A and B are shown apart, each in its own frame.
Chain A
Amino acid sequence: MSLNVDRASTAFTFKGGMLPMTVMELTSADPERIREQLAGKLSQSPAFFQHTPVVLSVEKLDEPHLALERICAVCRAHKLLPVAVRGGADPVKQSAWALGLGWFPPQEIKPRNLESVAAPAPETPAESVQPAGGGRIHRGTVRSGQQLTAPDGDLVVIGAVNAGAEVLAAGNVHVYGALRGRALAGIHGDAQAGIFCRELHAELLSVAGNYKRLEDIDPRLLGSAVQVRLSDDQLAIAGLT
């Protein structure tokens, strides 16, 4: 998507990108109430609050004037980094710009529930590394209740994914072991993504939003090494030989 110019002579190129972003949907404009709730959340999942960029959505608020500066200060004090505001009337837009924040128009369609991606995730196992290229490699078992996400690339698990665990990737999901939990590939809509595993017992398989539950999977495939791809908007599961 870069402009067709001589790279050596340019200082930068513009690129389009779809970055995962947490939206903070405000249902109260009272900075004090926001502070209280944030303090509670911070103690529950400190790992989430590491200068995480957030978009403040004020679509659900009916107030033309907001104490935007104070709300931003509260967020920053809890290690959330407001980068933009979505929705609100003109005064909100003006004060967002004045604070150096971007402004997005209100969303027309109802946002899909992306909680599994954006929510302060449950425990992420410690033994994973993020190599260059945005992918992620995890060594060891992914256990029940754990969630492992590769938001920008492929996820490789060298070990098993147990029942009750969830692995997600923007690209492919590779499991070099038994897949007993949930596996979601192409979470940002990449229909070319796939899921590969050594032993299929998955609770749920999903590629770009198309999913199959364990019940829908041909029992003859269970226990074998498979690849899962999207073909004509249907998940196709085939043996890996």
Chain B
Amino acid sequence: MAKIIVVTSGKGGVGKTTSAAAIATGLALRGNKTVVIDFDVGLRNLDLIMGCERRVVYDLVNVIQGEAGLNQALIRDKRVDNLHILPASQTRDKDALTSEGVEKVLESLSEDFDYILCDSPAGIERGAQLAMYFADEAVVVTNPEVSSVRDSDRILGLLASKTRRAERNQDPIKEHLLITRYNPARVDHGDMLNLEDIREILAIDLIGLIPESEAVLRASNQGIPVTHDANSDAGQAYTDTVSRLLGEDVPLRFHEYQKKSLLSRVFGGGRR
């Protein structure tokens, strides 16, 4: 049985797709058979971030509507063997997703994979609700700003009430907080919410903290998940996040503001 993990946030543009791609890549690099599904029907992006946009033939909606088999729609990642992508449709809308259809797809994927990542669309409408409905765990992606925190809070409320686990009174979904675009210097200045404030408001466990990094933008535009960029701070932070998802105890990094010393300025060491 696969573990189903939804990557969600409520607010758009906080790094859901980047995180879903990076975490899926990290899980696969650690030897887990992983598939990442794009639930953002109509605004598909995951294939771009994963660098497989030229190989999309069939998509999630085709599978749900019986127009293609699951194996026809799954795209094998070029870089990591046991990683697959199930893209979203760009021409349909989210009403094309049905609860029964999604359940069926997840059930058949469960037989073959260790981890199923569901990349949720923004918002709290049908697409987002279907992405989270069958999840066992949730990674809630939050930026250090008030509107993102409030939207994440809203999503946490939905995770506790509008999911299969909640409706069947099973153990609740395991909720993890992933803070992205964290800039310790700006937090220090008071421009951004600090880590402790976010944790206090959302009151869930922190699974990772991704520093704001040029590596993320570069990775998106090149279509190579940032986890592959092992020299970058963001790449390392996602690798740490994956280790914690797998139950390992890894100390937090990149959350403290360090003034650059003269030496590091000269040699450009440390952060990139």
Q: Which residues of A contact B (CB under 8 A)?
A: 123-127, 140-141, 143-146, 159-160, 162-165, 178, 180
Residues of the A chain whose Cβ atoms lie less than 8 Å from the Cβ of B52 = none
A144–B153 CB distance below 8 A:
yes
The yes or no answer to B66 lying at the interface (CB within 8 A) is no
Given contacts A141-B202, A144-B153, 12 further A-B contacts (CB under 8 A): A123-B157, A125-B157, A125-B160, A126-B160, A144-B157, A145-B153, A145-B157, A159-B203, A160-B201, A160-B203, A165-B157, A178-B200
> How many angstroms from the CA of A146 to the CA of B153 in the assembled complex?
10
Q: List 15 A-B contacts (CB under 8 A).
A: A125-B160, A127-B160, A141-B153, A141-B202, A143-B154, A144-B151, A144-B154, A145-B154, A145-B157, A145-B158, A146-B157, A162-B201, A163-B150, A164-B154, A165-B157
Chain B residues near A (Cβ < 8 Å) = 150-151, 153-154, 156-158, 160-162, 166, 200-203
Q: Given the complex of chains A and B, what is the CA–CA distance between A164 and B158 in angstroms?
A: 13
Find out whether the CB atom of A143 lies under 8 angstroms from the CB atom of B153: yes
Measured between beta carbons, the chain B residues less than 8 angstroms from A125 are 157, 160-161
- B232 to chain A minimum Cβ distance, whole angstroms, is 33
**Residues of chain A within 8 A of B160, CB atoms compared:** 123, 125-127, 143
B203-A144 in contact (CB<8A): no
Q: State in angstroms the CA–CA spacing of A241 and B51 once bound together.
A: 60
Known: A144-B150, A145-B154. A123 touches B161 (CB 8 A): yes
Shortest distance between the CB of A48 and any CB in chain B (Å) = 13
Report chain A residues within 8 Å CB of B201.
160, 162, 180
In the assembled complex, the Cα of A134 lies from the Cα of B160 at a distance in Å of 24
How many A-B residue contacts, CB cutoff 8 Å? 48
Residue in contact with A164 in the complex, picked from B150, B162, B200, B203, CB distance below 8 Å: B150
Contacts of B158 in A (CB 8 A): 123, 145
Report A-chain residues with C-beta under 8 Å of the C-beta of B166: 126
* B153 / chain A contacts, CB cutoff of 8 Å: 141, 143-145, 162-164
Q: How many angstroms from the CA of A165 to the CA of B160 in the assembled complex?
A: 14
Q: Please name all residues of chain A whose beta carbon is closer than 8 Å to the beta carbon of B151 when the two chains form the complex.
A: 144
Residue of A nearest to B156 (CB): A143
CA distance A160 to B201 in the complex (A): 8
Given known A141-B203, A159-B203, A160-B201, contact A124–B154 (CB-CB < 8 A)? no
Taking the closest CB of chain B, its distance from the CB of A166, in whole angstroms, is 12
- CA of A127 to CA of B153 in the docked complex: distance in angstroms? 16
> With A and B bound together, what is the CA distance between A125 and B158 in angstroms?
9
- CB nearest neighbor in B for A142: B157
Shortest distance between the CB of B146 and any CB in chain A (Å): 8
A163 CB contacts on chain B under 8 angstroms: 150, 153
Closest to B152 in A: A144
Which residues of A sit under 8 angstroms from B203, Cβ to Cβ? 140-141, 159-160
Q: How far is the CB of B150 from chain A (nearest CB, A)?
A: 5
- A residues less than 8 Å from B154 (CB atoms): 143-145, 164
Q: State in angstroms the CA–CA spacing of A159 and B201 once bound together.
A: 10
Rounded to whole angstroms, the CA-CA distance of A162 and B152 in the bound complex is: 11
